[in-house]
Structure 1
Amino acid sequence: MIPDVTETLEPRPPAAVDPSRVAVVVPCHNEELTVGKVVRDFRAALPGALILVVDNASRDRTAEVAREAGASVIRESRAGKGFALLSGFRKARTTGVDYLVMVDGDDTYPAEDVGRLLAAAASGAEMVIGTRLATAEEGAFRAGHSFGNRLFIWLVRMLFGIRTRDLFSGYRVISRRFLEAAPLIAQGFEVEAELSLQALVQRFPVAEVPVAYRARPRENPSKLHTYRDGTRILFAILTFFRDYKPLTFFGLLALFFLVLSLAGGSVVIAEFLRTGLVPRLPLAVLSAALFILAALSFACGVLLSTINRRSAEIAARIPWQ
């Protein structure tokens, strides 16, 4: 049975979280039509919190509108949601806040739900994911995006043996402890998948809270490119699988090479036993090379798995600040 390392929480009154210990990070690329409302809504929901808008190479008035609404604005010239979030997280950490709320600037996530996410974080979750799939407004997901989300959730379940209900939600609460422990390298829309996998694979306490999810305004279409970003997300998941499950990854690779080696080698051996000759020398060389690759792949998996385990043991001895 696949373990469920998340906890789904029903709506409940928010715990006492001091808004001055909260930063709201809003990555934006050309969101002048909606970012003002997002800032105002979160200022009303969390009076005293730092509202930090990251202008991610926008070509419109996103920065000006955000400032007029009362947000602090920083500029990230490298295009990509991952770059924007990393810049926002880095800036927010310098303020000494305990919790970071991450939310998109397209007004698809209601600020009214932030209290329930913070309540789950205050109850001990290091990451709280606002799940959308069961509560999304009609038309909120573009054609194929809901299916793609579920497909990647299934892939993560198969590769890592963990369950999650929304891998790509852009509405989360992240603890300072998690942010300091989890290295993030994603550059684009795959950043949500990396955040989820970092938390789930490393067994941080994760909670999932159902939130409303609204459709984007028609005049402000999604920046997500279905095939290009889908390919990047797939590559990110497989890379994460290689890095955190090296024995399984390289073991499967070794098995693939071994099967090919045995398939070719069996033909060569059968002919040698029958005739005493090796008429298919190239096939014999290829089979031997594939067998060597299989052995090397398995050895790499064992070595990297040992290094990962040792690194985890060392990290476990380091006290949290």
Structure 2
Amino acid sequence: MYLDENLGRTYILDKLAILIPCYNEGKTIRKVVTDCLASCKGIPNTSVYVYDNNSTDNTVSEAKIAGAIVRHEFQQGKGNVIRRMFRDINAESYIMIDGDDTYPADEIPAMVNEVLEKNVDMVVGDRLSSSYFEENKRPFHNIGNVVVRKSINFFFKNDIKDIMTGYRAFSYQFVKSYPVLSQGFEIETEMSILAIENNMHIENHVIEYRDRPADSFSKLNTYSDGLKVLRRIISLFKDYRPLHFFGLISLLLILIAAGLFFPNVWIPYLHTGLVPKMPTLVVCGFLLITGIILFSSGLILDSIVKKEKREFEFRLIQIHNSFEDQIR
């Protein structure tokens, strides 16, 4: 509990919760926690939470020594850890940062200020506009980040500069309204698209990136996790933009049907009055019917998505009221 002197209110929740998902980060976690606490001395009632995800090294003991509150999530996967953190922790603002010491903790006050003073729902720590491509020694990670960003820019038309960053600030409303569905490293992509599609306030904050220390190793598999992210983007495009998704497939099938029908069926029929390729006519008919069904499905699903967006707005109001109830 703390008193906000500027607003004259007493809060029963943290002013700032720093959330650090961890799996075998014993080499760096003590420094990350120490840096976070040092950078937030001017923010009252700040807590650092390290959520251990079945680490087999000294991550837990190092985090405790540094002054973090250590909790556990036994279901493996970064998405599962974030789901647990978002359920457990109540705070006015949140910082999510990785435990690998690749992000500068001294940017926390500026990112939190965006949330507290400007009512931003998600502040994205943008590595790609600064030092990421010089610091990161894994070229396929660089390519993957660019591909993911361009894919989401193409499908969802947004201005997020760094989709895969693990350094973000969140509002209470975002954390409590976000339904975590991904289990692994696709989680950053999922939360970015949810914020875009629900018209939440997003800001980019350029940060300096530094590569992992030499004796620290990434748990991200460039190829398998990269494919999971791309599959997730396509799946979310289908879920959030069903009319576009099914409309494109419908248009493709109708174009194929037309390409087969006119030269093989229609033109010979005009000249001879006969249909020389009956199987082609049948295939064209099936393609046309399938295209119409898919387009109709897209229209129906689009109406459902719009209804869900309206319901999401009502949930935000309920979450806001719940937040106000925690203020005495």
**TM superposition score category, shorter chain reference:** 0.7 to 0.9
Q: Please state if 1:296 is matched with 2:293.
A: yes
Match of 2:326 in 1: none
For the residue of structure 2 that corresponds to 1:98, the secondary structure is strand
Asked whether the equivalents of residues 265 and 288 of structure 1 are also in contact (C-alpha less than 8 Å), the reply is no
| TM-score (norm. length: structure 2) | 0.86
User: Paired residue for 2:46, among 24, 45, 49?
Assistant: 49
CA–CA distance in structure 1, aligned partners of residues 23 and 222 of structure 2? 17
For the residue of structure 1 that corresponds to 2:91, the secondary structure is coil
Asked whether the equivalents of residues 87 and 176 of structure 2 are also in contact (C-alpha less than 8 Å), the reply is no
Asked whether the equivalents of residues 246 and 297 of structure 2 are also in contact (C-alpha less than 8 Å), the reply is yes
User: Paired residue for 1:24, among 10, 18, 24?
Assistant: 18
Once the two structures are superposed, residues 235-267 of structure 1 have per-residue CA deviations (whole angstroms, 9 ceiling, x without a partner) of: 111111111111111110101111111122221
Unaligned runs of 5+ in 2: 1-5, 322-328
Give me the identity figure in percent.
33
Match of 1:282 in 2: 279
Q: Please state if 1:184 is matched with 2:180.
A: yes
The offset of 1:276, in angstroms, is 4.1
Match of 1:242 in 2: 238
Asked whether the equivalents of residues 129 and 161 of structure 2 are also in contact (C-alpha less than 8 Å), the reply is no
Match of 1:308 in 2: 305
For the residue of structure 2 that corresponds to 1:100, the secondary structure is strand
Distance 1:141 1:91, change over 3 A: farther
Match of 2:115 in 1: 121
The offset of 1:89, in angstroms, is 1.5
Q: Please state if 1:206 is matched with 2:229.
A: no
Q: Please state if 1:156 is matched with 2:156.
A: no
Distance 1:315 1:26, change over 3 A: closer
Match of 2:31 in 1: 37
Match of 1:223 in 2: 219
The offset of 1:316, in angstroms, is 3.3
For the residue of structure 2 that corresponds to 1:50, the secondary structure is strand
Which deviates more, 240-249 or 135-144? 135-144
Match of 2:64 in 1: 67
Asked whether the equivalents of residues 153 and 163 of structure 1 are also in contact (C-alpha less than 8 Å), the reply is no
Distance 1:141 1:206, change over 3 A: farther
The offset of 1:141, in angstroms, is 4.9
Asked whether the equivalents of residues 135 and 209 of structure 2 are also in contact (C-alpha less than 8 Å), the reply is no
The offset of 1:317, in angstroms, is 4.6
For the residue of structure 2 that corresponds to 1:207, the secondary structure is strand
1:263-274 → structure 2 map (5 Å cutoff): 263-266=259-262, 267-274=264-271
For the residue of structure 1 that corresponds to 2:123, the secondary structure is strand
| TM-score (norm. length: structure 1) | 0.88
Match of 1:4 in 2: none
* Equivalent residues, number: 303
Once the two structures are superposed, residues 74-128 of structure 1 have per-residue CA deviations (whole angstroms, 9 ceiling, x without a partner) of: 2222222111111122121xxx311111000001112111011011111221111
Match of 1:172 in 2: 168
Q: Please state if 1:193 is matched with 2:203.
A: no
Once the two structures are superposed, residues 29-73 of structure 1 have per-residue CA deviations (whole angstroms, 9 ceiling, x without a partner) of: 111101111112112222542211111122222122212222222
Q: Which amino acid aligns with 2:169?
A: V
The offset of 1:279, in angstroms, is 4.1
